[in-house]
């Protein structure tokens, strides 16, 4: 497969930090072992400049962090947008730092979509899933939504939840709460972040019984991957990775302090990864070998059974609309998880 001349999908983390302690995310552990910090403004501006010379389709100001942890995120987003007016720019955040001034600033930007990662409605479930306080977040997101509507902005606001044991009894209420306000709500399946979540933890998080969970796993061999021909992940210090699941920097492609994105994209490290993929041997490499295994595939039938046992009336609850919502907007879901 021929790589694009320049990546068309770029994620840049302008800080490495996240303020949540989600039990389903590698961050709480990985942030204690990987270098942490914030991106220099010089490096940030140079990267945004270079990106603006190319036709990048999707640009996102986060990778393994929460973008609102960067105190400079508003001016940085404004620069990204000003320099890349034809690029789709999307923000994904847990919303806890989305205070009114930030909400107003985001609502004023021509962002394509703001995703709010939210895994509950009540304080107990919010704390159990993300270690965050529910009420301020619900308030923040409602303020943002009011502001988006007041401005008549075209930015989509999408709340996404991951279906897990800890929130399975609350997702229906979440769906009703957000959709009653006109906010899009999608449910995404859990995945093990290419082995970056231990199997033990992963199985505990799955919403099914152990037996049913085992029957949900799909062992897909990731012999080649579109990501390494189109995606670049840039960490706060300029290090680069080929995949948003590379939480432990398993495949570092080089550092952008000493080189350009273009040079790195055509450099030896990327060529090596692509040659494995071209030969259908990507799964011989670490990380890629774990990608595709232990994936939780949301099976509509199994989900319907689970919901029926839980709530009594599967037709009410596991409506087609709900199953449709499982198709969410997470690219992983689209690629190979959902079999409805």
Ligand X SMILES: C[S@@+](CC[C@H](N)C(=O)[O-])C[C@H]1O[C@@H](n2cnc3c(N)ncnc32)[C@H](O)[C@@H]1O
Applying CB under 6 A, the residues found at the interface with ligand X are 18, 24-25, 62, 66, 92-94, 117, 160, 162, 188, 190-191, 193, 197
Token pair belonging to 47: 């990267």
- In order, the DSSP letters of 254-310 are EETTSS-HHHHHTSHHHHHHHHHHHTT-GGGSTTTTTTTTTEE--BHHHHHHHHHHH
Query: Could you give the CA distance from residue 310 to residue 150 in angstroms, rounded to a whole number?
Result: 39
CA torsion, points 262, 266, 272, 278, in degrees to nearest 10? 110
Q: Which DSSP symbol is given to 328? A: -
Least distance to ligand X from the beta carbon of 163, Å? 9
Shortest CA distance to 227 belongs to which of 158, 285, 297?
285
Q: Rg (Cα) of the chain, in Å, rounded?
A: 20
Query: Could you give the CA distance from residue 167 to residue 159 in angstroms, rounded to a whole number?
Result: 15
Closer of 6 and 24 to ligand X (Cβ): 24
Biggest CA-to-CA distance, the chain: 60
Closer of 62 and 265 to ligand X (Cβ): 62
Surface-to-core class of residue 200, CB atoms within 10 Å of its CB (0-12 exposed, 13-18 middle, 19+ buried): exposed
Least distance to ligand X from the beta carbon of 224, Å? 22
The residue number with the shortest CB distance to ligand X is 117
Least distance to ligand X from the beta carbon of 1, Å? 26
Closer of 160 and 250 to ligand X (Cβ): 160
Could you tell me if residue 102 is left (phi over 0), alpha (psi between -120 and 50 degrees) or otherwise beta? alpha
Closer of 238 and 328 to ligand X (Cβ): 328
* Residues 110, 142, 109: CA angle, nearest 5 degrees: 10
Closer of 6 and 120 to ligand X (Cβ): 120
Query: Could you give the CA distance from residue 270 to residue 17 in angstroms, rounded to a whole number?
Result: 27
Closer of 9 and 92 to ligand X (Cβ): 92
Q: How far is CA 21 from CA 268, 274, 312, in A?
A: 36, 34, 33
Closer of 93 and 230 to ligand X (Cβ): 93
Least distance to ligand X from the beta carbon of 31, Å? 11
Closer of 111 and 264 to ligand X (Cβ): 111
Least distance to ligand X from the beta carbon of 315, Å? 28
Least distance to ligand X from the beta carbon of 95, Å? 8
Query: Could you give the CA distance from residue 86 to residue 98 in angstroms, rounded to a whole number?
Result: 26
């Amino acid at each position: 497969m021929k790589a694009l001349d320049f990546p068309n999908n770029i994620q840049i983390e302008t800080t490495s930090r996240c303020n949540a302690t989600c039990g389903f995310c590698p961050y709480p552990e990985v942030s204690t072992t990987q270098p942490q910090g914030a991106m220099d403004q010089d490096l940030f501006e140079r990267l945004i400049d270079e990106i603006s010379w190319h036709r990048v389709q999707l640009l996102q100001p986060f990778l393994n962090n929460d973008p609102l942890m960067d105190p400079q995120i508003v001016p940085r987003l404004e620069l990204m947008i000003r320099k890349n007016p034809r690029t789709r720019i999307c923000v994904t955040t847990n919303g806890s730092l989305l205070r009114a001034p930030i909400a107003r600033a985001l609502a004023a930007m021509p962002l394509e979509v703001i995703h709010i990662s939210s895994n509950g409605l009540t304080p107990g479930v919010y704390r159990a899933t993300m270690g965050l306080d529910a009420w301020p977040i619900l308030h923040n997101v409602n303020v943002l939504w009011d502001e988006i509507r007041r401005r008549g902005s075209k930015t989509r606001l999408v709340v996404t939840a991951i279906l897990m044991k800890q929130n399975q009894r609350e997702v229906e209420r979440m769906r009703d709460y957000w959709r009653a306000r006109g906010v899009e709500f999608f449910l995404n399946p859990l995945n093990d972040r290419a082995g970056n979540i231990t199997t033990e933890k992963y199985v505990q998080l799955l919403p099914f019984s152990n037996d049913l969970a085992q029957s949900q796993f799909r062992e897909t061999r990731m012999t080649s991957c579109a990501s390494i021909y189109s995606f670049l992940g840039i960490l706060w210090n300029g290090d680069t990775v080929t995949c948003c699941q590379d939480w432990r920097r398993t495949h570092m492609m080089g550092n952008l302090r000493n080189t350009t994105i273009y040079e790195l994209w055509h450099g030896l490290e990327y060529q090596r990864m692509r040659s494995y993929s071209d030969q259908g041997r990507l799964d011989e490499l670490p990380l890629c070998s774990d990608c595709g295994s232990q994936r939780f595939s949301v099976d509509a039938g199994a989900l319907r059974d689970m919901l029926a046992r839980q709530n009594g009336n599967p037709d009410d609850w596991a409506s087609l609309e709900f199953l449709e919502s499982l198709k969410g907007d997470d690219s992983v879901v689209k690629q190979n998880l959902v079999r409805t």
